[in-house]
Amino acid sequence: MTAMRRFEGHAVLITGAARGIGAATARRFADEGARVLVTDADLPAAEKTAAALRERGATAEAFGCDVARRAEAEAAVARAVDAFGSLDVLVNNAYRCTPDTPLFEDGSDDDWAADLDVTLSGAYRCSRAALPHLVASGRGAVVTIGSVNGIQDFGNHAYSAAKAGLMSLTRTLAGHAAQRGVRVNLVAPGTVRTSAWEGRERDLAVASGLYPLGRVGEPEDIAAAVAFLASADAAWITGTTLRVDGGLLAVNTAFRQAVRAHAQESGEAEGDGTG
């Protein structure tokens, strides 16, 4: 358990918090003293996560919330305020990601719309409902989970477009909310070891070799970044996208490895291969 207690007395709502990054973020906030509303479309799973937090001595409740439904997003915010008396932090983590079809033109309107509705519009709905309460708290913060997919092409067209949209929403909402005392930021993770990769350890091992830091991320890596941006330690940070990606977007590891291998095979001095 972390020794820091930056969120004593804070009330935190996290969407998509039943598992993975959301659950790790809930644990991080709870360990730092926050009261946490664990929301997820899968209520039984959310209840298990909340129960685990209570076993750690935290104050936590679960609430069923499909962020694609405005009424449920608003009800989740109302529940947090009713249960805890206020709302200080909103973490937009819920998402939907449909695998790409082999050909772009074979993609369906329904899948495209659903990915955007949950991932992008869901964050909009929750932020809209939460904002008055975040303003009232006097220390409000929104932290949204984006992705490197919103910055560079890694496939998943609709999901990536939604994540890119979240970066724009972060900037525009930050500009609107700053004068009202609310900060708005986004964390853009790279590959993170979650249940979405279950049974694909070999794929994760291959992916690890493409990261300059030599490994994929863990949910706790993202949770730490979220907690920082939500805390007073980031009091002069708003409207930013924080890449938490093991250096993936900064260094083209695969390219460097290819150049190095070619140099070794040819006996040439290693260069950068860019001309």
Q: In the structure, what pLDDT confidence band is assigned to residue 198 with cuts at 50, 70 and 90?
A: confident
Average pLDDT, the chain: 95
Residue 199 has a pLDDT of 86
Residue 208 lies in a domain: no
Residue 165 lies in a domain: yes
* Residue 159 annotated as catalytic: yes
Domain around 190: 11-199+215-248
Q: What does the pLDDT average to over 219-225? A: 98
Distances (CA, A) of 133 to 21, 127, 137: 24, 10, 6
Residue 157 has a pLDDT of 96
pLDDT tens digit sequence for 164-194: 999 999 999 999 999 999 999 999 999 999 9
Rounded percentage of the chain residues whose pLDDT exceeds 90: 88
Q: What does the pLDDT average to over 139-148? A: 98
Residue 42 structure tokens: 């899968």
Residue 125 has a pLDDT of 98
Residue 168 structure tokens: 């724009």
Q: What does the pLDDT average to over 44-68? A: 98
Contacts of 43 (CB under 8 A, 6+ apart): 62, 63, 64
- 258 versus 270: which is more confidently predicted? 258
Residue 22 has a pLDDT of 98
Residue 268 has a pLDDT of 65
Q: One of 95, 124, 159, 211 is an active-site residue; which one?
A: 159
The single-letter DSSP state of residue 196 is G
Question: pTM of the prediction?
Answer: 0.93
Judge whether residue 120 has pLDDT over 70: yes
* Residue 48 annotated as catalytic: no
CATH of the domain at 119: 3.40.50.720
Residue 156 has a pLDDT of 95
Q: What distance in Å separates the CA atoms of residue 236 and residue 138, rounded to the nearest whole number?
A: 14
Residue 263 has a pLDDT of 80
Residue 62 lies in a domain: yes
**Unique residue bearing structure tokens 């949204």:** 144
Residue 261 lies in a domain: no
Q: One of 95, 124, 163, 211 is an active-site residue; which one?
A: 163
Residue 209 lies in a domain: no
Judge whether residue 14 has pLDDT over 60: yes
Judge whether residue 43 has pLDDT over 80: yes
Q: In the structure, what pLDDT confidence band is assigned to residue 269 with cuts at 50, 70 and 90?
A: low
Q: What distance in Å separates the CA atoms of residue 221 and residue 145, rounded to the nearest whole number?
A: 12
Residue 3 has a pLDDT of 67
Q: What does the pLDDT average to over 257-265? A: 82
Residue 270 lies in a domain: no
Q: In the structure, what pLDDT confidence band is assigned to residue 4 with cuts at 50, 70 and 90?
A: confident
Q: Please, are residues 230 and 248 in contact by the beta-carbon 8 Å criterion? A: no
pLDDT tens digit sequence for 243-257: 999 999 999 998 888
Q: What distance in Å separates the CA atoms of residue 149 and residue 61, rounded to the nearest whole number?
A: 32
Residue 205 lies in a domain: no
The beta strand positions in the chain, using DSSP E, are 11-14, 35-40, 59-64, 89-92, 141-145, 183-189, 241-244
Q: Please, are residues 251 and 273 in contact by the beta-carbon 8 Å criterion? A: no
Contacts 24+ apart (CB under 8 A), 234-240: 234/141, 234/183, 234/185, 235/183, 237/183, 237/185, 238/174, 238/177, 238/178, 238/183, 238/184, 238/185, 239/170, 239/171, 239/174, 239/175, 239/178, 239/184, 239/185, 240/170, 240/185, 240/186
Residue 225 has a pLDDT of 98
Query: Total domain count for the chain?
Result: 1
The single-letter DSSP state of residue 101 is P
For the beta carbon of residue 42, count every other beta carbon within 10 angstroms: 15
